[in-house]
Amino acid sequence: MILTISITLLMAVAIFLYTLQPKFGTAPSGERLASIQASPNFKNGKFQNISFTPIMTEGYSMTEVIWNSLFKKFPRQKPLEPIPSIKTDLLNLSKDKNILVWFGHSSYFIQLEGKRFLIDPVLSGNASPIPGSNRSFDGTDIYSPADFPDIDYLLISHDHYDHLDYETIIGLKSKINYVVCGLGVGAHFEHWGFDPAKIIEKDWNGKVEFNDGITIHTATARHFSGRLFKRSNTLWMSYILETPEMKIYIGGDSGYDKHFAEIGEKFEGIDLAILDNGQYNLAWQAIHMLPDEVLKAAKDLNAKRLMPIHSSKFVLAEHPWDEPLVHITALNEASNIPLVTPMIGEQVDLNDENQQFKQWWTSLK
């Protein structure tokens, strides 16, 4: 009995000490916490979605999901071959090009009107704070922080590890001018040594206007947040990146809900909608969209083009690795929304609504 208690205590101490590492970030406090508590979206000690949003769908249990992830095997969760890629030279990219470059999962670079944006970069090869626990697919890690030019605006949708990666952020730190994020997320950046004057934290339905004619609008999403044991103590976000010539919807992670139609009505003419399509499951349908819901969301947004992301890099769900792209492509035959499905590193021309993309996933096992 004494031995068992001793081992348990040692394990508890080891876990506690491990969680003190900077990669876990820190909880909001002081004036930041006060501003959070003043938000109309913060109730009963945490941020709330607009609609009731259960983490688990009725009829499913967290115990079942955890058991399946630990002990049950599902077919083709990882590709047997490396994911194909094209390495665009970002450092020598002409500033007059309006392009997007995807890095797999939910990480991508946008250059628009001479300004550079980076969204949810995860370049360390791991979607978890535990080393080696959720490795990226072969072929997906062709970029490192050294490959990036200076970034005018880093946009973070929420603070989950597969969207806010400590190693990547530290590697890019000297290149980042401004950080734009939801309320509370700035605590992590300040903890990591970022200048508070360069951290812009916003609530839903806000905006950040810059002298160069660019506006970043903040909007709701249907999800949750949290990096350690505390859940929803920081705000998850979607964005509308607007210039005089273009509007891009940056969806972050979200379940389907009425906010897509409301955003589509408020911001007429979304040129490109970038939406969460992958790592879904009926068990958590309220917080991640299924492929048919992604198409519904794109229609609600009145989007001219749809870029489905959140796939092709990590195993975070039970479905085959290529299923999100296979399903949305098949379902889209009835909808006929132009799909933007580049390879990792391939240039997406933001000015060319007719640009065609190969179905690169069909040749992989």
Query: For 240-296, how does the pLDDT look when each residue is reduced to its tens digit (9 = 90+)?
Result: 999 999 999 999 999 999 999 999 999 999 999 999 999 999 999 999 999 999 999
Residues 6+ apart with CB under 8 A from 32: 183, 184, 186, 187, 201
Q: How far apart are CA 128 and CA 134, in angstroms?
A: 6
What angle do helix axes 323-335 and 291-300 make, rounded to 10 degrees? 50
Residues 308-334, mean pLDDT to the nearest whole number: 97
Q: How far apart are CA 354 and CA 115, in angstroms?
A: 23
Alpha-carbon distances, residue 234 vs 40, 101, 167 (angstroms): 13, 28, 20
Q: What is the pLDDT of residue 164?
A: 98
Block residue for tokens 């590697």: 171
pTM: 0.96
150-189 pLDDT, tens per residue? 999 999 999 999 999 999 999 999 999 999 999 999 999 9
Domains and CATH numbers, the chain: 27-363 (3.60.15.10)
Residue 19 has pLDDT above 90, yes or no: no
